Amino acid sequence: MKKKPKVRLIFPGRRKFFQNFIFVLFRLAAVINGLALLIIVYFMIANGWQAINWEFLTQPPKEAMTRGGILPCIIGTLYLSLGAMLIAFPIGVASAVYLNEYAQPSRILRIIRLGINNLAGVPSVVFGLFGLAFFVVWLKFGISLLAGALTLAAMTLPVIIGATEEALKAVPNTYREASLGLGATKWQTILRVVLPTALPGILTGAILSISRAAGETAPIMFTAAVFYTPQLPTSLFDEIMALPYHIYVLSTAGTEIETTRHLQYGTSLVLIALVLGLNLIAIIYRARLQRRMQ
Amino acid sequence: MAIRRQLKEQWMRVFFFCFALASILILSMIVVFLFMEGLPIFSKVSVKDFLLGIYWYPTSDPPDFGILPLIIASLSVTFFSALLSIPLGVMTAVYLAEIAGRRLREVIKPIVELLAALPSVVIGFFGMVVVSPFLQDFFGLSTGLNLFNAALMLAFMSIPTICSLSEDAIYSVPVELKEASLALGATHLETIFRVILPASISGIATAVILGMSRAIGETMVVLMVAGGAAMIPTSIFDPVRPLPASIAAEMAEAPFRGDHYYALFATGIVLFFFTFLFNILADYISHKYRQVGAATL
């Protein structure tokens, strides 16, 4: 009887100490992630902010891309990512509605899900190859805005499906039962009750997919983007410039890599601001939604 | 009236089903077009020579199409990045799900999401202009663009995937298990290592595999910071040329539907199958060892 309290006295201290020590390590791991983000963003802001001025944002590149601005790249990226969203959004939402509202567990459902997961895992450069072989060559779209937007749409489809499914799952089943109980058909229930309730969540997913499409480089390398084009795009079949490809080209190709460093940082900063800005909007919007749900 | 409504219901069901098939359709078209443009190379080079040849000189005369150095580069870059990303990703997930208070969690979780959202070209650019000169000075190397740098940058691209999927897995461990362990006198740490992690190991394994799949397929980072030498690396500071980097760098110069062009598509097939295998494996693990509830343990 005497020994037992002693054991309790010694071990809680050591166990507690050991636990605290390990927990500090875990916290450190989390901090390293935060630091990585901060350091990258810090370097882009510290070196990029001088490059950013009105001319940079509103003028095309000049003198073999060593001066001037990035307006065509900004426009090109906006067209590409919005275009990809316009194509992928309806397909993705309809697909998620089937998976969440209609489908019963079955072999076909399992295969469809496997297909979506695998599509999400296809490397971005393989999407580029596919876009080149199918849209550019086989459908004869050429290197064009249309081919790039379609390629990006294929890539962002799983993102939209995932986000929409999440939003549909969050709609309480009582809503569906109430609507069905009033005599509405399944389709009426989906259209008038389920989709409106899930809409904010679906839109969050749409924002995230725009930001994903805006930041991708490899899928548009062979399908839409070019080093330099003097005109802003006027048709779906025009070649375009895009922010991510512009960064890649300026920082790796040509003879002026060192002298255009400030332009590279500036372009990176604009791209980061666009992508992280969209993500922040989505994150804040979602946090608000969750609070309202509770 | 009722019949018309029922008929419409049937049609809507079919309509949505067609859209649900879109992903499968795209995936199979990717396979078809990769093979259509990639297979012709095998009339010039045997599959064995293509996969196991150690010389990749696609533009010399006669050209050599051996992608073994590229495969080894991809695997080694992925392996070394996993050494960093698995512990960091899983530890962050445990911290978020088990240790952090609510307020800290609400700060760190968005940070991890933002890290995932950083465009790969920006991370590649950062590796090129900031990390590379640093490595060069610090280790006294001839070039900072090498396997180590690429693995480092890739690790931070796969950490968010590993972290958020692991966190979901840890979160879905039934709370009864945790309570039982604590009630038996185990400390929180002992509970994490002996109960929570074993119970969520299938989810964590899935997360790790998907994270590595992301690393092996990532293009811009390895294109910009891996150095680009198509040789079998002998040290961690050797420049390398992983599969995606080779495709992205050379496609623009490859003559349309020439041997080089076909060879790059065939390289794409190999890359596709690597990630396909990773994904099938992840799917298999997550279904076979699915956590359903306390009763399954």
DSSP A67: E
> Which among A179, A122, A192, A110 has a CA at the least distance from the CA of A151?
A122
Q: To the nearest whole angstrom, how far is the Cα of A185 from the nearest Cα of chain B?
A: 7
More confident position, A185 or B297: A185
> Which among A125, A261, A84, A37 has a CA at the least distance from the CA of B163?
A37
pLDDT of residue A9: 42
Q: Measured between CB atoms, which of B5, B26, B120 is closest to A157?
A: B26
Residues in B closer than 8 angstroms to A44, CB to CB, are 122, 126
Residues in B closer than 8 angstroms to A122, CB to CB, are 27, 30, 217, 272, 275
Cα torsion angle, A136, A142, A143, A149, sign: negative
Residues in B closer than 8 angstroms to A222, CB to CB, are 251-252
pLDDT band at B294 (very low <50, low <70, confident <90, very high): low
Q: Looking at the domain assignment, is residue A191 inside a domain?
A: yes
**Model ipTM?**
0.91
d(CA A269, CA A235): 28
> Which among B290, B188, B240 has a CA at the least distance from the CA of B56?
B240
**How many structural domains compose chain A?**
1
Tell me which residue range forms the domain holding A143: 65-293
Q: To the nearest whole angstrom, how far is the Cα of B267 from the nearest Cα of chain A?
A: 10
> Which among A218, A206, A188, A220 has a CA at the least distance from the CA of A279?
A206
> Which among A150, A157, A106 has a CA at the least distance from the CA of A128?
A150
Q: Are residues B62 and B30 in the same domain?
A: no
Q: Are residues B23 and B106 in the same domain?
A: no
pLDDT tens, A62-82? 777 777 788 999 999 999 999
Q: Measured between CB atoms, which of B92, B108, B213 is closest to A121?
A: B213
d(CA B44, CA B59): 15
B125: pLDDT strictly greater than 70: yes
Token pair 């060559």 is found at: A137
d(CA A184, CA A127): 42
pLDDT tens, B214-258? 999 999 999 999 988 888 888 889 999 999 999 999 998 888 888
A6: pLDDT strictly greater than 50: no
Q: Measured between CB atoms, which of B9, B87, B188 is closest to A185?
A: B9
pLDDT of residue A294: 65
Q: Measured between CB atoms, which of A29, A112, A261 is closest to B23?
A: A112
DSSP A232: P
Q: Looking at the domain assignment, is residue A34 inside a domain?
A: no
Q: To the nearest whole angstrom, how far is the Cα of A235 from the nearest Cα of chain B?
A: 23
Q: Are residues B29 and B70 in the same domain?
A: no
pLDDT of residue A243: 94
Average pLDDT on B22-37 reads: 95
What's the whole-number average pLDDT of chain A?
A: 89
B179: pLDDT strictly greater than 60: yes
Q: Are residues B21 and B139 in the same domain?
A: no
> Which among A19, A35, A65, A99 has a CA at the least distance from the CA of B108?
A35
pLDDT tens, A198-228? 998 899 999 999 999 999 999 999 999 888 8
Beta-bridged to residue B45, according to DSSP, are none
Q: Is there a contact between B92 and A33 if contact means CB atoms under 8 Å apart?
A: yes
Q: Are residues B159 and B280 in the same domain?
A: yes
Residues in A closer than 8 angstroms to B125, CB to CB, are 247-248, 251, 264, 268
Residues in B closer than 8 angstroms to A15, CB to CB, are 187, 189-190
pLDDT of residue A5: 40
Q: Looking at the domain assignment, is residue A49 inside a domain?
A: no
Tell me which residue range forms the domain holding B137: 44-296
pLDDT band at B205 (very low <50, low <70, confident <90, very high): very high
> Which among A270, A269, A224, A231 has a CA at the least distance from the CA of A245?
A224
Q: Determine the length of chain B.
A: 297
Question: Between β-strands A61-62 and A67-68, what pairing exists: parallel, antiparallel or unpaired?
Answer: antiparallel
A161: pLDDT strictly greater than 90: yes
pLDDT tens, B132-158? 999 999 988 888 899 999 999 999 999
pLDDT tens, B50-72? 999 889 988 888 888 999 999 99
CATH number at residue A213: 1.10.3720.10
Q: What is the CA radius of gyration of chain A?
A: 25
Average pLDDT on B181-197 reads: 91
More confident position, A253 or A293: A253
First to last CA, chain A: 51
Nearest CA in chain A to B14: A98
pLDDT of residue A26: 93
pLDDT of residue A260: 84
A93: pLDDT strictly greater than 90: yes
Q: Determine the length of chain A.
A: 294
d(CA A257, CA A251): 6
Contacts of A53 (CB under 8 A, 6+ apart): none
Half-sphere exposure at residue B193, Cβ-oriented, CA atoms within 13 angstroms: 9
Q: Are residues B33 and B78 in the same domain?
A: no
d(CA B50, CA B65): 6
A4: pLDDT strictly greater than 50: no
d(CA B254, CA B40): 15
Q: Are residues B28 and B168 in the same domain?
A: no
pLDDT band at A229 (very low <50, low <70, confident <90, very high): confident
Give DSSP secondary structure letters for chain B: -HHHHHHHHHHHHHHHHHHHTHHHHHHHHHHHHHHHHHGGGGGTS-HHHHHH---EETTSSS-EE--HHHHHHHHHHHHHHHHHHHHHHHHHHHIIIIIS-HHHHHHHHHHHHHHHHS-HHHHHHHIIIIIHHHHHHHHT-S-S-SHHHHHHHHHHHHHHHHHHHHHHHHHTS-HHHHHHHHHTT--HHHHIIIIIHHHTHHHHHHHHHHHHHHHHH--HHHHHHSB---S--SSTTS-B--HHHHHHHHTTTSPTTSHHHHHHHHHHHHHHHHHHHHHHHHHHHHHHT----GGG-
A43-62 residues touching B, CB cutoff 8 A: 43-44
pLDDT of residue B119: 94
Residues in A closer than 8 angstroms to B188, CB to CB, are 19
Give Cα separations from A232 to A144, A264, B77, B198, B216 (angstroms): 12, 21, 39, 56, 35
pLDDT of residue B1: 61
pLDDT band at B293 (very low <50, low <70, confident <90, very high): low
Q: Looking at the domain assignment, is residue A177 inside a domain?
A: yes
**How many structural domains compose chain B?**
2
8 Å CB contact between B155 and B190: no
pLDDT tens, A99-134? 999 988 888 998 999 999 999 999 999 999 999 999
Q: To the nearest whole angstrom, how far is the Cα of B201 from the nearest Cα of chain A?
A: 18
pLDDT tens, A230-274? 778 888 899 999 999 999 998 887 777 878 888 899 999 999 999
pLDDT tens, B258-289? 899 999 999 999 999 999 999 999 989 888 77
DSSP A62: E
Token pair 């469809």 is found at: A112
* In chain B, % of residues over pLDDT 90: 65
Q: Looking at the domain assignment, is residue A79 inside a domain?
A: yes
pLDDT band at A2 (very low <50, low <70, confident <90, very high): very low
pLDDT band at A10 (very low <50, low <70, confident <90, very high): very low
Residues in B closer than 8 angstroms to A138, CB to CB, are 33
A125-164 residues touching B, CB cutoff 8 A: 125-130, 132-134, 138, 154, 157-158, 161
d(CA B159, CA B164): 8
Q: Are residues B204 and B131 in the same domain?
A: yes
Q: Are residues B158 and B35 in the same domain?
A: no
A7: pLDDT strictly greater than 50: no
What is the pTM for the complete model shown? 0.91
Beta-bridged to residue A225, according to DSSP, are A240
pLDDT of residue B142: 85
Q: To the nearest whole angstrom, how far is the Cα of A173 from the nearest Cα of chain B?
A: 19
Q: Are residues B185 and B280 in the same domain?
A: yes
Q: To the nearest whole angstrom, how far is the Cα of A124 from the nearest Cα of chain B?
A: 7
Q: What are phi and psi of B240, to 5 degrees?
A: -135, 170
Residues in B closer than 8 angstroms to A103, CB to CB, are 20
Instruction: Give the 3-state secondary structure of residue A201.
Output: helix
